[in-house]
Amino acid sequence: MSETLARLNEVFQDVFEDEELSVQAETSAKDIDDWDSLMHVNLILAVESAFDVRFTSTEVAGLKDAGELLALIEKKQA
């Protein structure tokens, strides 16, 4: 597991208050029961804070799964 994915897992666990949650590149909102629109906003804000990045609304709207979020984080940090 990459360092970025490990940190992303920690953010997901914190936001969804589930230490057993394990996020993979394929993980999407349909895989996590509590992942609704409000939790999505909370997740994006937490990710921005944890990784010191900022996303545009267009970037966020285009995300389909955790893998795309991971790629976007790594692109912003490059």
pLDDT, one tens digit per residue, over 11-26 is 999 999 999 999 999 9
Homologous superfamily of domain range 3-77: ACP-like (1.10.1200.10)
- 74 vs 14: CA distance, rounded Å: 20
Weakest-pLDDT range from 1-5, 32-36, 72-76? 1-5
What's the confidence (pLDDT) of residue 1?
A: 58
Q: How many CB atoms lie within 10 A of CB 19?
A: 9
- The domain ranges of the chain are 3-77
Q: Is the pTM of this model over 0.85?
A: yes
- 15 vs 17: CA distance, rounded Å: 6
Tell me the pLDDT tens digit for each residue of 34-49: 999 999 999 999 999 9
Crossing angle of helices 37-51/3-15, nearest 10°? 140
Q: How many CB atoms lie within 10 A of CB 13?
A: 15
**Is the torsion defined by CA of 20, 35, 65, 13 positive or negative?**
negative
